[in-house]
Amino acid sequence: MIKTQNLSFEYERGIPILDSIDISVQEHEKVGIIGANGAGKSTLLKIFVGLLDKYHGDVRVLGYSVEKKNYAKIREQVSYMFQDSDNQLFMPTALEDIEFALRNYKKSEQEIKQSVDYAIKATGCADLINKSVWKMSGGEKKLVCIATMLATKPKIMLLDEPTNSLDPFNRKNLIDIIKSLKSTVVIASHDLDMILDTCDRVILMNNGKIIATGECMEILSNRELLESNRLLLPISLTKKSEL
């Protein structure tokens, strides 16, 4: 579904953000990308969906090389969640935001209704659809962002810090939604407990390089590995170790 070979990227010449990254993500897999600030997590997701170009190496998503001529084909099947929901929601109401991509892809009214109904039911945001996004809480905006993604029934979902700004109730709600997804999911996050709850595999990054990759418990229970890369054990595992 996603494959990179020798991927490197720099915003400023001579200052690498990603350095020789090789990644492979399989169909229906849920992969967590973890690392401290500046590790390159968000940059990686943006490259996957064509928000950043001028990288070096090979990047393929759904078999397409990630380059301008293929952006439309990729984005029709890949959904991306920004860290800041205000960068994603721009229509007057939530319903219009959920419908936006479908109308842009010239779907029929029947297809739009079916897809919107599915997305609203999956996220439980029926009470938000006529609400202005400017009057929503951070948690409500995150739910609507997920609904906009689900409406297009994407093959791949890229989530950048999806639990940021969420209270405990909405965080649990979002985790339950992620766990129920049938799509391939790649999550970049500092929330290691959420990664532990939702992902099959973890990729640990530091200073633009892949440090380790493996099953969630294998990586996330390794205190020495995490702390040497400026991360801490998930809270749930810390509590168990203290018992």
Task: State the Cα–Cα distance between residues 90 and 157, nearest whole angstrom.
Answer: 20
Q: Is the dihedral of CA 150, 153, 154, 156 positive or negative?
A: positive
pLDDT tens digits, one per residue of 113-153: 999 999 999 888 999 999 988 899 888 899 999 999 999 99
Q: Mark the ranges of the chain whose per-residue pLDDT is less than 70.
A: 239-243
Q: Which CATH fold would you assign to the domain 2-77+154-242?
A: Rossmann fold (3.40.50)
pLDDT, position 207: 93
Mutual orientation of helices 168-180 and 109-123 as an angle, nearest 10°?
130
Tens-place pLDDT, residues 169-179? 888 988 999 99
**In the predicted model, what is the mean pLDDT of the chain?**
93
| Whole-model pTM over 0.85 | yes
Domain locations in the chain as residue ranges = 2-77+154-242, 86-153
Contacts 24+ apart (CB under 8 A), 168-172: 169/139, 170/139, 170/140, 170/142, 170/143, 171/139
pLDDT for the residue 167? 85
What confidence score (pLDDT) does residue 241 get? 57
